[in-house]
Chains A and B, each alone.
Chain A
Amino acid sequence: MASLHHSSAVKAAKVLMVGAGGIGCELLKTLALSGFQDIHIIDMDTIEVSNLNRQFLFRQSHVGQSKAMVARDAVLRFRPNISITPYHANVKDSDFNVEFFKQFNVVLNGLDNLEARRHVNRLCLAAEVPLVESGTTGFLGQVTVHAKGKTECYECQPKPAPKTYPVCTITSTPSKFVHCIVWAKDLLFAKLFGDKNQENDLNVRSSDASNSPENGEDVFERRDNENIEQYGRRIYDHVFGYNIEVALSNQETWKNRNRPKPIYSRDVLPGKLNHQNGNVDKSCATDDLSSVSTMASLGLKNPQDVWSLAENTRVFLESLKLFFASREKEIGNLSFDKDDQLAVEFVTAAANIRAASFGIPLHSLFEAKGIAGNIVHAVATTNAVVAGLIVIEAIKVLKKDIDNYRMTYCLEHPSKKMLLMPVEPFEPNKSCCVCSKSPLSLEINTHHSKLRDFVEKIVKAELGMNSPIIMHGVTLLYEVGDDLEEDMIANYTANLEKVLSELPSSVIGGTMLTVEDLQQELTCNIYIKHREEFDEEKEPDGMVLSGWTQAPLEKKDDNKKLVGNGGSTSTALPTEGQKEVELVEISEETEISGKKRKQPGISGDETNNHNEIQKLDVVDDGEDDLVILDQCDIDKKKKKRLQ
């Protein structure tokens, strides 16, 4: 039996950690205690107060400093003789290229977003360095091992698309509080304080409002003769009163829905705004503008309290006022930030007023902040457990103990008596476009879709490329880089606005495009299929990428591949909805599920090669325990025998 202990393999290893956050702090500590002596760590973030409940290497006095640097210093206090090299940088920087990755024996991820995870996966594949990937949410966690050609890569299973909502749900027919939050944050806040030139659907339903008194002027512009309170009340009445009236006039919409109630500020707050201790000059006196707060100004103390409609109205008007009084310079450039107290207050109030209008229960600022900021639930204990599991897998990788690699799930409720459930890693997915270089095909209207649409929706969003080059045969259609000639840049910019069929080298049905990312050393071939019509509801992008599908369940018996079963499903397209407003990014931690490999329609299908049972290392006397990944979702193939 192989030993895991402080071996020469551990002492000699050079490891790269990506992320010095929740998992990262725990991981760096456990690596140092376990005898690792050469650790490199990349993190672009600085320390925030809300990190301190679990990122135990950091203190209040470190707020604002580099996580990677502070983590290094903290660990050297109890392990002074090891080498820790911090990089306060983005892992996607071009310095961290394949050559950089090649110097390491193993890469350990403690990341907080899908994009960076995909990027590191590609660099590890290109550099042929094994990757241990991890994620936690609340009490759930998982650790997986990825070694090129031996186990599946991080992207072998298409990742779930970020949660999105149909535009008309957000603009006209919200039914949940989250819809009101998206409206308040992505539409109203963006309209009032963000880039005025950005497309914005805030008034989408008032198109027949051309005879409205505001005709000819932008309702959201403050008029010259208007004081801040008048302006605030006018905005309030427009979005919560007038716009709702306009929406109500469309009888069709409300046939099977509860009719919303228009709300006007004079009905909620008849008098002038009354300040207890609210005093704009006083707020201005603070040197940190982001600490300007309506709650402080109005004497509201507990962020867990749910405010009344009147309180929300007061917060709405007051926070709008404070933005103009204290942060006027930023208006026009603001984007929502969950750590911006005033922005959170404004969004909470606006969402609540809208919720009141639509008969949706109101929420506290604390809850609203979590939804708006897409805040991940995080506790120290799960991160500590996951860090321990990562180090165990890292040591196996260093010892080349491939047969014993495991992916492990941390569960909240025991399954088969287990809270920590190890599962044998899966084999690479042969149709994975990342590790198997499998070609993709794209249905697209080549006469309507522009190269820009293709770059944004397919190359960047779906393929996750950073600095792509797009080629048709030997003709370069598009590229990104620092060292491009000016005429080339002009050329590419012009190409972006052209529809595919009118590009210098015409892209039509039957064309094979090559898309390449030099940093990731990833090349994808995409076969173009022209298609005239798309279903606006189901295919809002007007294009369907396919070929990158769930791994066929067969491991050995390849002649029964389930052609057509899921084979035409695009990887990241939402299955419902119209044009989508994006709310949620996958954040601090990964998808967690005991339900990996859900493949509808397959269990019980007799064409499958049932009961393929893999015997893992039988250590002691063989009283085998049958482990099934998920009871409700039994994949006959995935029954595994663990000793």
Chain B
Amino acid sequence: MDGEELTEQETALYDRQIRVWGADAQRRLSKSHILVYGMKGTVAEFCKNIVLAGVGSLTLVDDRAVTEDALSSNFLIPPNENVYAGKTLAELCCNSLKEFNPMVRVSVEKGDLSRFGGDFFDKFDIVIVSCCTRMTKKLINEKCRKLSKRVAFYTVDCRDYCGEIFVDLQKYIYTKKKLDENNQPTTVECELQYPSFQESISVPWRKLPRRVSKLYFAMRVIESFEEAEGRNPGEISMEDLPAVLKLKKELCEAQSMNESHIPNALLERLVMGKREFPPVCAIIGGILGQEVIKAISGKGDPLQNFFFFDAMDGKGVIEDISPPNV
């Protein structure tokens, strides 16, 4: 890739990672612009990773005030009322993130993300949303897709010991190292076609392979419940469990899927554990960071299109949930 060379300062600071992904990828990173929404523990982890990696800019959106919940797994906010009083989550995180790497521009944008227009999203290469309703996810995903340039879209959520990442890179072309017939290393061009969030979650459940992570279905049940009840994400408690289980039954019937596919114990965990579990934040925030670096640098196989982790079994699994024609 043409473009300015890395400065001496950049080469010294990024030495160890340039050895992983190359100077070329580092240059691309330094020109990329990232937007995140929903400053909870997992997104804080992601932001730390991507600021350290040396992206061009990071913009934070989250006008909420600090709550005990928000403090519980977010290392970017000092638990001192004198510091956080009167400031939004995004402002507080921004102050801490700036210190991690003076070469990255970290800033805050105020307002309701779902009301921002296409020209706002056009300024970014990567858009990441967390803790928002299914409606908002779909809406922002569609806005990104309507732009003339490709804006990669991700959702990330952690509940209890579980985490989920969704990826939409639209049409994505990248190079991959391979061995040719003579066992010589060579590069091949690959093309991936991603479905939107809406397309993905509309795939009939019975059409999915039998082994698809149970977490996929469980997360959709919780999402449907919150949407039907008009709740904010995470506004759910044990009192809601009977209604959640009832909804699960209905959804399984409508999708002609055996109910046992979504264990009640799993739903119970997701309903009960609304606080993030810091080790899972670190893991999901790390995997998401890695995926965003891949997408920006065009190096390495990006995951398509869901990732799930559950600390109870320790597996970190990729699931491709795409309509058959994609």
Which residues of A come within 8 Å of B, CB atoms?
1, 4-5, 26, 29-30, 32-34, 49-50, 52-54, 56, 59-60, 75, 77-80, 138-139, 301-304, 366, 370, 375-385, 387-389, 391-392, 395, 406, 408, 412-414, 417-422, 619-621, 623, 625, 642-643
Q: Answer whether A34 and B278 are a contact pair too, CB < 8 Å, given A375-B19, A385-B287.
A: yes
Closest Cβ neighbor of A49 among chain B residues: B12
Most buried by A among B101, B261, B301, B312: B312
Q: Are B78 and A384 in contact (CB under 8 A)?
A: no
Contact of B16 among A75, A378, A422 (CB under 8 A): A378
Q: Are B52 and A54 in contact (CB under 8 A)?
A: yes
Q: Are B286 and A385 in contact (CB under 8 A)?
A: yes
Q: Are A389 and B283 in contact (CB under 8 A)?
A: yes
Q: Are B279 and A381 in contact (CB under 8 A)?
A: no
Residues 299-317 (chain B) with a chain A CB within 8 angstroms: 300-301, 303, 307, 309, 311-317
**B141 CB–A CB distance under 8 Å:** no
**B75 CB–A CB distance under 8 Å:** yes
The distance from the CB of B20 to the nearest CB of chain A, in whole angstroms, is: 4
Can you report 5 A-B residue pairs in the complex whose CB atoms are below 8 A from each other? Answer: A304-B5, A375-B16, A391-B282, A420-B315, A621-B263
Q: Are B286 and A376 in contact (CB under 8 A)?
A: no
In the assembled complex, the Cα of A394 lies from the Cα of B112 at a distance in Å of 40
- Residues on A with beta carbons closer than 8 Å to the beta carbon of B61: none
**B289 CB–A CB distance under 8 Å:** yes
- Residues on B with beta carbons closer than 8 Å to the beta carbon of A301: 8
Q: Are A384 and B282 in contact (CB under 8 A)?
A: yes
Q: Are B20 and A377 in contact (CB under 8 A)?
A: yes
- Residues on A with beta carbons closer than 8 Å to the beta carbon of B21: 379
- Residues on B with beta carbons closer than 8 Å to the beta carbon of A417: 317-319
In the assembled complex, the Cα of A304 lies from the Cα of B19 at a distance in Å of 11
- Residues on A with beta carbons closer than 8 Å to the beta carbon of B282: 26, 29-30, 384-385, 387-388, 391
For the complex with contacts A4-B161, A378-B19, 5 further pairs of A-B residues with Cβ separation under 8 Å are A139-B20, A304-B5, A388-B278, A414-B301, A419-B316
In the assembled complex, the Cα of A413 lies from the Cα of B54 at a distance in Å of 24
Q: Answer whether A138 and B314 are a contact pair too, CB < 8 Å, given A381-B293, A385-B282.
A: no
**B172 CB–A CB distance under 8 Å:** no
In the assembled complex, the Cα of A433 lies from the Cα of B73 at a distance in Å of 43
- Residues on A with beta carbons closer than 8 Å to the beta carbon of B319: 417
Q: Are A621 and B287 in contact (CB under 8 A)?
A: no
**B90 CB–A CB distance under 8 Å:** no
- Residues on A with beta carbons closer than 8 Å to the beta carbon of B41: 33
In the assembled complex, the Cα of A445 lies from the Cα of B193 at a distance in Å of 66
Closest Cβ neighbor of A625 among chain B residues: B211
Contact of B278 among A33, A366, A620 (CB under 8 A): A33
In the assembled complex, the Cα of A421 lies from the Cα of B315 at a distance in Å of 6
In the assembled complex, the Cα of A414 lies from the Cα of B319 at a distance in Å of 11
Q: Are A418 and B313 in contact (CB under 8 A)?
A: no
Q: Are A30 and B313 in contact (CB under 8 A)?
A: no
Q: Are A388 and B280 in contact (CB under 8 A)?
A: yes
Q: Answer whether A380 and B75 are a contact pair too, CB < 8 Å, given A49-B12, A52-B13, A392-B311.
A: no
Which 5 pairs show the lowest CB-CB distances between chains A and B?
A420-B316, A422-B314, A388-B282, A33-B278, A385-B286
The distance from the CB of A111 to the nearest CB of chain B, in whole angstroms, is: 17
The distance from the CB of B1 to the nearest CB of chain A, in whole angstroms, is: 13
In the assembled complex, the Cα of A417 lies from the Cα of B316 at a distance in Å of 8
**B77 CB–A CB distance under 8 Å:** yes
Which residues of B come within 8 Å of A, CB atoms?
5-6, 8, 11-21, 23, 41, 45, 48-49, 52-54, 72-73, 75-80, 99-102, 161, 210-211, 214, 260-261, 263, 265-266, 273, 277-283, 285-287, 289-290, 293, 300-301, 303, 307, 309, 311-319
- Residues on A with beta carbons closer than 8 Å to the beta carbon of B307: 419
- Residues on A with beta carbons closer than 8 Å to the beta carbon of B314: 389, 392, 406, 408, 420, 422
The distance from the CB of B76 to the nearest CB of chain A, in whole angstroms, is: 8
In the assembled complex, the Cα of A389 lies from the Cα of B284 at a distance in Å of 11
In the assembled complex, the Cα of A370 lies from the Cα of B11 at a distance in Å of 13
The distance from the CB of A37 to the nearest CB of chain B, in whole angstroms, is: 14
Contact of A54 among B17, B77, B279, B281 (CB under 8 A): B17
Q: Are B278 and A375 in contact (CB under 8 A)?
A: no
Q: Are B78 and A78 in contact (CB under 8 A)?
A: yes
- Residues on B with beta carbons closer than 8 Å to the beta carbon of A376: 16
The distance from the CB of B183 to the nearest CB of chain A, in whole angstroms, is: 14
Q: Are B279 and A34 in contact (CB under 8 A)?
A: yes
The distance from the CB of B295 to the nearest CB of chain A, in whole angstroms, is: 13
Closest Cβ neighbor of A51 among chain B residues: B16
Q: Are B53 and A380 in contact (CB under 8 A)?
A: yes
Q: Are A29 and B75 in contact (CB under 8 A)?
A: yes
- Residues on B with beta carbons closer than 8 Å to the beta carbon of A26: 282
Q: Answer whether A77 and B78 are a contact pair too, CB < 8 Å, given A301-B8, A619-B312, A642-B315.
A: yes
The distance from the CB of B310 to the nearest CB of chain A, in whole angstroms, is: 9
In the assembled complex, the Cα of A565 lies from the Cα of B211 at a distance in Å of 39
- Residues on B with beta carbons closer than 8 Å to the beta carbon of A370: 19
Most buried by A among B161, B277, B286, B311: B286
Contact of B285 among A384, A419, A420, A625 (CB under 8 A): A384
Q: Are A420 and B100 in contact (CB under 8 A)?
A: no
- Residues on A with beta carbons closer than 8 Å to the beta carbon of B318: 414, 417-419
Q: Answer whether A50 and B15 are a contact pair too, CB < 8 Å, given A4-B277, A422-B315.
A: yes
The distance from the CB of B277 to the nearest CB of chain A, in whole angstroms, is: 7
The distance from the CB of A133 to the nearest CB of chain B, in whole angstroms, is: 16
The distance from the CB of B19 to the nearest CB of chain A, in whole angstroms, is: 4
- Residues on A with beta carbons closer than 8 Å to the beta carbon of B317: 417-419
- Residues on B with beta carbons closer than 8 Å to the beta carbon of A80: 79-80
In the assembled complex, the Cα of A42 lies from the Cα of B319 at a distance in Å of 40
Q: Are B290 and A139 in contact (CB under 8 A)?
A: yes
Closest Cβ neighbor of A375 among chain B residues: B19
In the assembled complex, the Cα of A642 lies from the Cα of B287 at a distance in Å of 22
- Residues on A with beta carbons closer than 8 Å to the beta carbon of B48: 56, 380, 384
- Residues on A with beta carbons closer than 8 Å to the beta carbon of B75: 29, 32-33, 75, 78
- Residues on A with beta carbons closer than 8 Å to the beta carbon of B260: 620-621
Q: Are B15 and A375 in contact (CB under 8 A)?
A: yes
- Residues on A with beta carbons closer than 8 Å to the beta carbon of B285: 384
In the assembled complex, the Cα of A480 lies from the Cα of B101 at a distance in Å of 47
Q: Are B265 and A53 in contact (CB under 8 A)?
A: no
- Residues on B with beta carbons closer than 8 Å to the beta carbon of A391: 278-279, 282
Q: Answer whether A30 and B279 are a contact pair too, CB < 8 Å, given A54-B17, A78-B75.
A: yes
Q: Are B278 and A642 in contact (CB under 8 A)?
A: no
Q: Are A623 and B312 in contact (CB under 8 A)?
A: no
Closest Cβ neighbor of B24 among chain A residues: A304
- Residues on B with beta carbons closer than 8 Å to the beta carbon of A60: 102
In the assembled complex, the Cα of A619 lies from the Cα of B215 at a distance in Å of 13
Q: Are B52 and A380 in contact (CB under 8 A)?
A: yes
Closest Cβ neighbor of B294 among chain A residues: A139
Q: Are A388 and B279 in contact (CB under 8 A)?
A: yes
Q: Are A412 and B286 in contact (CB under 8 A)?
A: no
Q: Are B315 and A388 in contact (CB under 8 A)?
A: no
In the assembled complex, the Cα of A408 lies from the Cα of B279 at a distance in Å of 14
Q: Are A377 and B49 in contact (CB under 8 A)?
A: no
The distance from the CB of A31 to the nearest CB of chain B, in whole angstroms, is: 9
Q: Are A392 and B11 in contact (CB under 8 A)?
A: no
Contact of A53 among B54, B72, B280 (CB under 8 A): B54
The distance from the CB of A1 to the nearest CB of chain B, in whole angstroms, is: 7
In the assembled complex, the Cα of A50 lies from the Cα of B19 at a distance in Å of 12
Contact of B286 among A59, A78, A381 (CB under 8 A): A381
Q: Answer whether A380 and B11 are a contact pair too, CB < 8 Å, given A375-B16, A422-B314.
A: no
In the assembled complex, the Cα of A419 lies from the Cα of B163 at a distance in Å of 14
Contact of B214 among A75, A419, A422, A620 (CB under 8 A): A620
Q: Are B17 and A378 in contact (CB under 8 A)?
A: yes
Closest Cβ neighbor of B14 among chain A residues: A53
- Residues on A with beta carbons closer than 8 Å to the beta carbon of B14: 53
In the assembled complex, the Cα of A30 lies from the Cα of B41 at a distance in Å of 11
- Residues on A with beta carbons closer than 8 Å to the beta carbon of B45: 384
Closest Cβ neighbor of A76 among chain B residues: B78
In the assembled complex, the Cα of A387 lies from the Cα of B263 at a distance in Å of 29
The distance from the CB of B3 to the nearest CB of chain A, in whole angstroms, is: 13
In the assembled complex, the Cα of A382 lies from the Cα of B282 at a distance in Å of 10
